[in-house]
């Protein structure tokens, strides 16, 4: 099958209303203050698609937007960043989700979602929209639309049958509770799963990163990356394990850092971490060959640098500019 895209990102698209430095002390009966407030395009699939495109990948997105001003804002940002939006679905019935995010001074945050985040569109009905890519990123595994085991299985099976590399980036369930047993059939199709520490604890019941990874591997996932925030990341597959430290940066806002991480990981795996010739990306090269050829450690360092850069500005798509910026950060720190 002709692969005209490098990466397709699939999942949630929304607008983040980011409130930084919220002061809980009221200034009037109904008024509060904060250091700043801003509207930013977000959602896991959007964050990943924008990052992958800026990293030089031919990137597309499969997501659902309302026929509203928030949806127009998301679509405009995707187009400005060079993301192929031909598979974006617009709905008159379901509004574009808007998330309110409270960001602390150290960059950590809490978010408020609403009922519009529950809408399950059906990407499995359009396999031609994602099997045309060399890699597929499921931006919000365990959240809509990937809180339906049948949708998950249908999508990953179609992608796997097409020889597409599959990355599953997880989120904690919000409206519909799912666990690993609920999607047991789909997990062996995943080439990578990339939970953060809290998500990995939730899904595995383990506290140690290696034990967390072992649990995911026992379900058939081929490669596991546990994102540990300021502690770095832990990688394990059937042949090796790696613990890599984080880059020492001053975090401003962690929104989207994990999404930039997985976009960076996917982009560098596809590039073969600078070791594959362009001929390796000809049609017929399957995902297992890409993984054998890629330098996993370098790809993980690149992904970590992408996540670190993301935290240096407010908003998921603000700080990361291009691949050269990421390589410069990597060159500045020898780890």
Residue-wise pLDDT for 221-268, tens only, equals 999 999 998 899 999 999 999 999 999 888 887 888 999 999 999 999
Whether 40 contacts 122, CB under 8 Å: no
Whether 123 contacts 150, CB under 8 Å: no
Q: pLDDT of 127-178, one tens digit each?
A: 999 999 999 999 989 998 999 999 999 999 999 999 999 999 999 998 888 9
In terms of Cβ atoms closer than 10 Å to its own Cβ (0-12, 13-18, 19+), residue 92 is exposed
Whether 18 contacts 37, CB under 8 Å: yes
Whether 82 contacts 321, CB under 8 Å: no
Q: pLDDT of 181-209, one tens digit each?
A: 999 999 999 999 999 999 999 999 999 99
- For domain 5-23+35-332, the CATH class is alpha beta
Average pLDDT, the chain: 90
In terms of Cβ atoms closer than 10 Å to its own Cβ (0-12, 13-18, 19+), residue 234 is buried
Nearest residue to 46 (alpha-carbon basis) of 18, 71, 17: 71
Sheet holding 109-112, edge to edge: 36-42, 14-20, 98-103, 109-112
SS3 of 100, please? strand
Confidence of residue 276 (pLDDT cuts 50, 70, 90): very low
pLDDT at 109: 76
pLDDT at 335: 53
Confidence of residue 286 (pLDDT cuts 50, 70, 90): low
Q: pLDDT of 39-69, one tens digit each?
A: 989 999 999 999 999 999 999 999 999 999 9
192 strand-pairing partners: 167, 223
Nearest residue to 41 (alpha-carbon basis) of 32, 30, 33, 51: 51
Strands (DSSP E) contained in 189-231 are 192-193, 223-227
User: What is the distance, to the nearest Å, from the Cα of residue 227 to the centroid of all Cα atoms in its chain?
Assistant: 12
Confidence of residue 291 (pLDDT cuts 50, 70, 90): low
pLDDT at 282: 46
pLDDT at 36 over 50: yes
Mean pLDDT of the 201-219 span: 98
Whether 287 contacts 164, CB under 8 Å: yes
SS3 of 104, please? coil
Nearest residue to 13 (alpha-carbon basis) of 112, 99, 133: 99
pLDDT at 294: 59
Q: Which of 105-114, 151-160, 289-298 has the highest mean pLDDT?
A: 151-160
Nearest residue to 46 (alpha-carbon basis) of 73, 19, 27: 73
End-to-end CA distance of the chain: 40
């Amino acid at each position: 099958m002709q692969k005209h895209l490098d990466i397709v990102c699939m999942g949630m698209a929304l607008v983040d209303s980011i409130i930084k430095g919220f002061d809980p002390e009221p200034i009037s009966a109904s008024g509060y203050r904060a250091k700043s407030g801003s509207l930013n395009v977000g959602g896991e699939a959007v964050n990943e698609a924008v990052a992958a495109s800026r990293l030089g990948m031919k990137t597309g997105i499969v997501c659902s937007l309302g026929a509203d001003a928030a949806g127009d804002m998301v679509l405009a940002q995707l187009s400005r960043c060079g993301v192929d939006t031909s598979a974006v679905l617009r709905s008159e019935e379901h509004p574009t989700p808007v998330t309110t995010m409270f960001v602390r001074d150290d960059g950590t945050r809490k978010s408020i979602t609403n009922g519009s985040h529950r809408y399950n569109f059906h990407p499995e009905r359009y396999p031609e929209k994602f099997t045309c890519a060399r890699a597929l990123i499921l931006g919000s595994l365990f959240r809509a639309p990937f809180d339906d085991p049948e949708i998950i299985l249908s999508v990953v099976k179609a992608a796997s049958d097409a020889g597409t590399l599959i990355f599953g980036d997880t989120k904690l369930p919000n409206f519909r509770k799912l666990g690993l047993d609920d999607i047991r059939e789909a997990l062996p199709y995943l080439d990578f799963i990339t939970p953060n520490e809290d998500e990995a604890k939730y899904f595995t019941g383990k506290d140690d990163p290696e034990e967390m990874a072992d649990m995911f591997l026992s379900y058939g996932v081929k490669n596991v990356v546990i994102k540990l925030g300021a502690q770095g990341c832990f990688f394990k597959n059937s042949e090796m394990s790696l613990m890599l430290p984080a880059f020492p940066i001053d975090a401003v806002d962690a929104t989207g850092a994990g999404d930039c991480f997985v976009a960076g990981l996917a982009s560098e795996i596809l590039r073969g971490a600078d070791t594959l010739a362009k001929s390796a990306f000809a049609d017929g090269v399957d995902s297992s060959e890409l993984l054998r050829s890629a330098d996993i450690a370098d790809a993980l360092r690149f992904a970590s640098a992408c996540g670190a850069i993301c935290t240096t500005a407010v908003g998921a798509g603000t700080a990361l500019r291009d691949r050269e910026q990421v390589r410069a950060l990597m060159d500045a720190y020898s780890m």
